[in-house]
Amino acid sequence: MLPQILDIASLKAAYASGLPLLDLVEEVTTRMEASEDPAVFITPISADDLRAAAKALLARAPEPNSLPLWGIPFAVKDNIDVSGFPTTAACPAFAYQPERDATVVARLKAAGALVIGKTNLDQFATGLNGTRSPYGAPRSVFDSAYVSGGSSSGSAVAVASGLASFSLGTDTAGSGRVPAAFNNLVGVKPTPGLVPNVGVVPACRSVDVVTVFAATVGDATSVRKVMDGYEAQDPFSERLNQPPCPLPDFGSAFSMAPNANSSAIPRSKLCTTPPSKRAKSLGATIVPFDYAPFRQAAELLYNGPWVAERLAAVKDFISSNADDVDPTVRKIIEGAKAYSAVDAFEGLYKLGALGQKARAEWEKLDILMLPTSPTTYTVEDMQADPIVKNSHFGRYTNFANLFGYAAIAVPAGFDSKGHLPAGVTLFGPGFSDDALAPFADAMHRALGAGMGKDRHAALPEASKVASPASNWAQIVVVGAHLTGMPLNHELTGPGGRLVKACKTAGDYRLYVLPNTTPPKPGLIRDPGFSGGGLDVEVWSIPYDAFGRFVANIPSPLGIGKVTLEEGSQVSGFLCEPFAVQGAREVTDLGGWRAYIASLKT
């Protein structure tokens, strides 16, 4: 018997145990026909067409699980092209028949996944609530009086209700994250440019991202990796020429500063166990930060010239078919006419300035953790005040793509009555997607919120995301490689990231090596010596970069195990003892940075 939620790990296990693919097809067909929410799909696949797709897969790859997503059913937001289905963007007059699949859909099909239909959305992906569609308003799987979140409304409900194993959404302002929170799902929003947008009806072309809804972080990440990759036809696609940005192993998560909330927004009393406590239980350090630059950037997306991109995407259609557009959507898009080219450049300048302020906050951070949404509303309340209430949902989401961040939204628990779910989103720097996943997965498991409408489901061990630490090496640096020192670029160049500043154990001495350019120290361990420890930094770099780094270390320096003040041992710079004979000892200064400062004074 298949589980209520068709997570990928469980479905693969069922195939390995002998579940016939066509039995899965019949189960999905039965569930779709019995669905209690008629607004989930705009164009569902017919039972015969789904059977035909399954038979074609069996002819191409007869062995179960022989492809990465063999026999995995998925739904597609109806602003993403799928051959054989019309693309409507939730506007019947706009509908067209695509000649080919969107790049991401083609890659997923090649991996063995089966499309089960095109899902509902806020028209032209303009909204975060899911009520702006002539095809109806999908509802929260926990209470049909409440919104599902948008714009990727049907995509989230399809997974949360057990119809699909995963689904595709898009995210400009939070559309791949807010519906995840309202339906107890994971929403993976890749770094802009990581996943191609060819074959996607744009909302704001320069910041749009194709997203994944799934039951677990592991499932969603595996799907994202199938979709990843440069695509020359997408002008914003990125070709990675260096390793992705790492994060320390479970690094640090962070609480909001007092100015992060607003009394103007009624906040749901969700999450009986604060996520910050769970983060601390995983080893995170919770520190405050200034949310102001993030919030001000978020406001630019709808209250700045970026709204003109929405008009640019559909200007020809809306000029001839304005009456066919949802009134709220039309009001938002036509508001772009108030902005000039000068406004656009001034908006870019302002975003750049805010980006610099945000970078200063990231000096304190490894991972940024925020509520996915501060509140939720009933469909009735949303429709009574559609613009203001919709804007509340974007308070903690709108800045992400403007700043080029990776983000993963995870379930965070339910209110005290076990009624409505809430979520938190974890943000990392651009291209930290893989490094962010282990902590996001650990948070989901620690918060114990289940998967989709099955709030008591245990997350499968098979979908657990392993720490990326196995692909990265840590190294202790003591001198010219410290932050701000002349050779630090040898660490940052290949994507290295500072893990922490700390001290060595007390039995180390530090010497100034003669005739070195730039000046370098020699670190020697002297058992029996008792000092206060020396200031050092621990950095994380890719293993291949670590090998090149070690190969270029000049004599008399080398790499050995350095014992830190708390007793752990990490590979780091050590010096051969003969080289410090007659050299100046600077142990009493406490570290190399203090020695360099003493030269200036």
CATH number of 469-600: 3.10.490.10
β-strand pairing of 166-171 with 73-77: parallel
Rounded CA separation 155/78 (Å): 9
What was the pLDDT predicted at 368?
92
Which of 16-20, 500-504, 512-516, 541-545 shows the lowest per-residue confidence on average (mean pLDDT)?
541-545
**Distance between CA 97 and CA 87 in Å, rounded?**
6
Instruction: Between 77 and 552, name the one with better pLDDT.
Output: 77
CA nearest 423: which of 261, 209, 188? 188
Mean per-residue pLDDT, 329-353: 96
Average pLDDT over residues 352-358: 97
Pairing of strands 406-414, 186-189: antiparallel
pLDDT at 267 over 80: no
Please check the confidence at residue 399 and state whether its pLDDT lies above 80. yes
The number of angstroms, rounded, from the C-alpha of 594 to the middle of its chain's C-alpha atoms is: 39
- How high is the pLDDT of residue 464? 94
- In the chain, what percentage of residues exceed pLDDT 70? 94
Report residue 308 as tokens: 């003109």
Which one of 168-182, 474-488, 554-568 scores highest in mean pLDDT? Answer: 168-182
Has residue 97 got a pLDDT over 90?
yes
Which pair of tokens denotes residue 332?
């938002």
Say which range, 41-55, 384-398, 548-562, has the weakest mean pLDDT: 548-562
Per-residue pLDDT averaged across 358-373, rounded? 91
Token reading at 240: 């990675």
CA 58, 64, 69, 71 dihedral sign is: positive
pLDDT band at 247 (very low <50, low <70, confident <90, very high): low
Whether 128 shows a pLDDT value over 80: the answer reads yes
Work out the average pLDDT over 120-136. 98
Rounded Cα distance, 167 and 341, in Å: 37
- Type of residue at 436: L
Among 220, 456, 203, 403, smallest CA distance to 313 is for: 203
Catalytic residue, candidates 153, 167, 175, 432: 175
Which is catalytic among the residues 12, 77, 109, 453? 77
The answer to whether 77 and 168 are in contact (CB under 8 A) is yes
Task: With a cut of 90, say whether residue 477 has pLDDT above it.
Answer: yes
Cα–Cα distances in angstroms (integers) from residue 331 to residues 93, 325, 393, 559, in the given order: 18, 9, 19, 63
**Which strand (E) or helix (H) includes residue 365?**
none
Q: Which of 140, 148, 151, 463 is catalytic?
A: 151
pLDDT tens-place string over residues 214-229: 999 999 999 999 999 9
Across the chain, what does the average pLDDT equal? Answer: 92
- Tell me the residue type at 11: L
281 is catalytic: no
Examine the pLDDT at 257 and tell me if it is beyond 60: no
- What is the residue whose two structure tokens read 């002998």? 18
144 is a catalytic site residue: no
* Segment 356-377 mean pLDDT: 92
CB 503 within 8 A of CB 534: yes
Cα 406 from chain centroid? 4
Q: Kindly tell me if the per-residue pLDDT of 500 is higher than 50.
A: yes
The answer to whether residues 112 and 69 touch, using CB atoms and an 8 Å cutoff, is: yes
Return the minimum-mean-pLDDT range out of 238-247, 276-285, 322-331. Answer: 238-247
pTM: 0.81
Mean pLDDT of 392-406: 97
Say which residues have a Cβ less than 8 Å from residue 305's Cβ, sequence separation at least 6: 336, 339, 343, 344, 346, 347
Contact predicate 103/196, CB 8 Å = yes
For the segment 367-382, what is each residue's pLDDT rounded down to a tens digit? 999 999 999 999 999 9
305 vs 543, residue with greater confidence: 305
Catalytic: 77?
A: yes
pLDDT tens per residue, range 338-349: 999 999 999 999
SS3 440: helix
Tokens representing residue 470 in the block = 């196995």
Residue 461 has pLDDT above 80, yes or no: yes
- Confidence class for position 462, pLDDT limits 50, 70, 90: very high
Q: What mean pLDDT is predicted for residues 185-189?
A: 98
Residue 574 belongs to what H/E stretch?
strand 569-575
Beta bridge partners of 211: 169
pLDDT for position 275: 85
Domain coordinates of the chain in residue numbers? Answer: 8-466, 469-600
Of 476, 399, 469, 394, the C-alpha closest to 434 is 469
Query: Domain 8-466 maps to which CATH number in 3.40.640.10, 1.20.1250.20, 3.90.1300.10, 1.10.357.10?
Result: 3.90.1300.10
What is the percent of the chain where pLDDT is above 90?
A: 81
Omega cis (within 30) before 518 = yes
Stretch (H or E) spanning 391: helix 386-393
The pLDDT assigned to 551 comes to 86
pLDDT of residue 285: 82
- For the ranges 129-138, 176-185, 278-287, which has the lowest average pLDDT? 278-287
